[in-house]
Amino acid sequence: MTAADRDPPVLPPGLRDRVLAASLRARAVGRPVPDAPKISATEAYRRAARAFDAALCLLGEDDWRTPVLRDLDIQGLVGHLIGVEDDLHRALDGDPEVADAGHVESTQATALDQAGRPPAGTRADWRRAADRTLDLVRSADSAAEVAMHGMQLPLGALLVVRAFELWTHENDIRQATGWVASVPDPSTLRLMTELAARLLPQAADRAGLIAPVDVRLVLTGPGGGTWDMTVGGDAPVPSAVSIVTDAVGFCRLVANRITPAGLDLHVTGDPACAAGVLAAASTLALD
């Protein structure tokens, strides 16, 4: 550090405002650089399904019996996903019974039915179900509301939820078999982080976060971005907290696959508020 650095000149008044304003004219707040190429929700689902299928192709005959989630082995987990696709097809058809059906309860029978079947048959059934989803949504309106498993979301958002779930379960399988974890491509990840950030206020309400908090959520790395939101109420002077973590880690938290302790976090503001917000984020998981 030079003498000039130790005793730097006083900045002219107004320079700070001028520089910050010029910077924001060059690039808007919240827009990441480099920005991931935009893709549709259908494309995100297609990519997640392709990655999931690729993981299934790598499984040996015995791997399918590896315990992976709840009381399910990998074959049962794929059966669960067949059940989810079937429920989605019914929801797209306007079947009211799937609107409030439980995500796990509604699919458990299909999951358990896989026991004893040849794994290739389970995989073929799942592939058929995923392809049927793609056929059904091809000509559908992505803004149309669809209700299933207690969620009511535009179809586009629901497909991102589905991509999120496929990535989560693909990584369940990877973990169970000792493979390295996978990371979604930046375009898919950006849709996932956007959706998670948008749903965070609802998650906070559901988690019973009473004290209102102004949250700045900064997700770093490819697929990240910056979001401002108020969660947990409507008081005139809410607390403020800034949470910085990496985009993939945050998605794993949202999927309830890691706890906040597993994240690389930088928090400013009230630590208790940050902890509440992060705990709320993990309640978005479907499982």
Partner 1 sequence: MIATPSQVCLDAPPTARAISGYCLASAGRASVQGVGGTDAVLAARLAAGDDHALAEAFDALASSVYGSALRVLGDNSAAQDVVQDVFVELWSHPGRYDPMAGTLRTYLTVLARHRAVDLVRSELRRVARQERSYRLTPAPPANGAGDVVLAAETASLVRAAVQQLPASQRQVVELAYFEGLTCRQVAHAVGIPEGTAKSRLRLALAKLEEMLDRQLLESS
Q: Which residues contact partner 1 (rule: CB under 8 A)?
A: 4-5, 8-12, 15-16, 18-20, 22-24, 26-34, 214, 216, 218-221, 224-226, 228, 240-242, 244, 246, 259-269, 271-272, 274-275, 278-279
- 264 vs 13: CA distance, rounded Å: 37
| Least distance from partner 1 to the Cβ atom of residue 20, Å | 6
| Least distance from partner 1 to the Cβ atom of residue 275, Å | 3
Q: Which is nearer to partner 1, 90 or 216 (CB)?
A: 216
Q: Which is nearer to partner 1, 61 or 234 (CB)?
A: 234
Contact partners, residue 188, CB within 8 Å, separation at least 6: 39, 44, 47, 48, 163, 167, 223
Q: Residue 200's closest CA among 224, 221, 217, 223?
A: 217
Q: Which is nearer to partner 1, 102 or 262 (CB)?
A: 262
Q: Which is nearer to partner 1, 98 or 241 (CB)?
A: 241
Chain centroid to Cα 244, Å, comes to: 16
| Least distance from partner 1 to the Cβ atom of residue 217, Å | 10
Q: Which is nearer to partner 1, 38 or 138 (CB)?
A: 38
- 32 vs 150: CA distance, rounded Å: 32
Chain centroid to Cα 254, Å, comes to: 6
- 247-254 vs 271-281: helix axis angle to the nearest 10? 70
| Least distance from partner 1 to the Cβ atom of residue 78, Å | 30
| Least distance from partner 1 to the Cβ atom of residue 138, Å | 33
